[in-house]
């Protein structure tokens, strides 16, 4: 897994009392209400994702902000909402601010005792959408409490110390990772044969598959192995791959195992053999190289 840290392409704040003024030259990002009703501040940021390879899968994304001013009386949530149209830090103001989505993409809680310094919030869902193209990247809006006086301020990219600039930390893996819904399987009991298989997943010409298998029963007689199949249909003939792996009963360290396919084939699945009645949870993933 690789991690990259991005700095803002644009960042600035806007002020309701100074609705036509632009603050691109300031070194801060102000949020929340300051002195009285109508004295509200918001901040806008935009990060470009050009440095992230297109054929990868984003695992996690966190926004880091360095707080240097905290006038919160009790506790407030600082929220992130995605912006719906383009803007520029040198021209944006309160009157021209772009519309934003009502959906909260991330938030952090700040109270009167929150120390100055770096704060992080998870923005994985939003950044994944930016990267795969399902969400247009117009940047994000930071909002605080606009009902009572609770001013909070962070440094922006005009601050003299670059270590305290806003940052977007993104972890990603090469290739596209596809996650499948959890599958729960009950091993058949006598008079049926105590054997079951997971739902097959398609591999394709450049895909690998991994199955995370958890024994959710008290049985110590559960075994698993990976199988691969060929042909155009998922019900094709399957062949065993590798050795059978024993799964310890639940509650024991290591009761879960991961089995991966490295063979060239059209489909992959898990073969389960038990005593009958065992419950198994399987989490399947495939990775396109």
Q: Mean pLDDT of all residues in the chain?
A: 91
Pairing state between β 152-155 and 56-70: antiparallel
pLDDT number for residue 147 = 87
User: 29 pLDDT band (50/70/90 cuts)?
Assistant: very high
pLDDT number for residue 204 = 74
pLDDT number for residue 263 = 84
Task: Say if pTM beats, i.e. exceeds, 0.85.
Answer: no
pLDDT number for residue 235 = 75
Could you write out the three-class secondary structure of 130-173? HHHCCCCCCCEEEECCCCCECCEEEECCCCCCHHHCCEEEEEEE
The model's pLDDT over 123-151, given as tens digits with 9 standing for 90+, comes to: 999 999 999 889 999 999 999 999 889 99
pLDDT number for residue 151 = 94
Could you write out the three-class secondary structure of the chain? CEEEEECCCEEEEEECCCCCCCCCCCCEEEEEECCCCCCEEEEEEECCCCCCCCCEEEEEEEEEEEEEEECCCCEEEEEEEEECCCCCCCCCCCCCCCCECCCCCEEEEEECCCCCEEEEEECHHHHHHHHHCCCCCCCEEEECCCCCECCEEEECCCCCCHHHCCEEEEEEEECEEEECCCEEEECCCCCCCCEEECCCEECCCCEEEEEEEEECCCCCCEEEEEEEECCCCCCCCEEEEEEEEEECCCCCCCCEEEEEECCCCCEEEEEEECCCCCEEEEEEEEEEC
Across the range 73-89, mean pLDDT stands at: 95
pLDDT number for residue 289 = 66
The model's pLDDT over 231-254, given as tens digits with 9 standing for 90+, comes to: 777 777 899 988 899 998 888 766
pLDDT number for residue 114 = 95
The percent of residues in the chain predicted with pLDDT above 90, rounded, is 71
Across the range 69-85, mean pLDDT stands at: 94
Decide if pLDDT at 54 tops 90. no
The model's pLDDT over 215-235, given as tens digits with 9 standing for 90+, comes to: 999 999 999 999 999 877 777
pLDDT number for residue 113 = 94
Give me the domains of the chain, ranges plus CATH numbers: 2-174 (no CATH), 176-288 (2.60.120.230)
Decide if pLDDT at 21 tops 90. yes
pLDDT number for residue 254 = 63
């Amino acid at each position: 897994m690789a991690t990259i840290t991005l700095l803002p392409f644009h960042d600035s704040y806007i002020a309701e009392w100074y609705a036509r003024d632009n603050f691109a030259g300031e070194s801060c990002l102000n949020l929340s209400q300051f002195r009285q009703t109508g004295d509200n501040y918001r901040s806008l940021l935009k990060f470009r994702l050009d440095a992230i390879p297109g054929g990868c899968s984003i695992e996690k994304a966190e926004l880091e902000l360095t707080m240097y001013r905290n006038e919160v009386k009790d506790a407030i949530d600082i929220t992130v909402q995605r912006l719906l149209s383009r803007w520029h830090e040198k021209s944006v103001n309160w009157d021209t601010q772009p519309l934003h989505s009502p959906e909260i993409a991330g938030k952090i809680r700040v109270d009167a005792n929150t120390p100055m310094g770096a704060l992080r919030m998870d923005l994985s869902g939003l950044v994944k959408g930016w990267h795969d193209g399902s969400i247009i990247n117009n940047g994000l809006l930071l909002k605080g409490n606009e009902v009572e006086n609770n001013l909070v301020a962070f440094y922006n990219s005009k601050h003299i110390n670059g270590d305290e600039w806003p940052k977007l930390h993104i972890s990603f893996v090469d290739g596209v990772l596809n996650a499948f819904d959890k599958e729960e399987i009950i091993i058949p009991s006598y008079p049926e044969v105590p054997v079951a298989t997971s739902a097959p997943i398609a591999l394709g010409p450049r895909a690998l598959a991994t199955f995370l298998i958890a024994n959710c029963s008290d049985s110590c007689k559960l075994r698993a192995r990976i199988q691969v199949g060929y042909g155009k249909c998922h019900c094709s003939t399957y062949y065993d791959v590798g050795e059978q792996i024993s799964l310890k009963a639940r509650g024991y360290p290591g009761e879960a195992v991961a089995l991966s396919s490295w063979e060239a084939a059209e489909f992959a699945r898990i073969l389960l053999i038990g005593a009958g009645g065992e419950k198994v949870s399987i989490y399947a993933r495939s990775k396109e190289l």
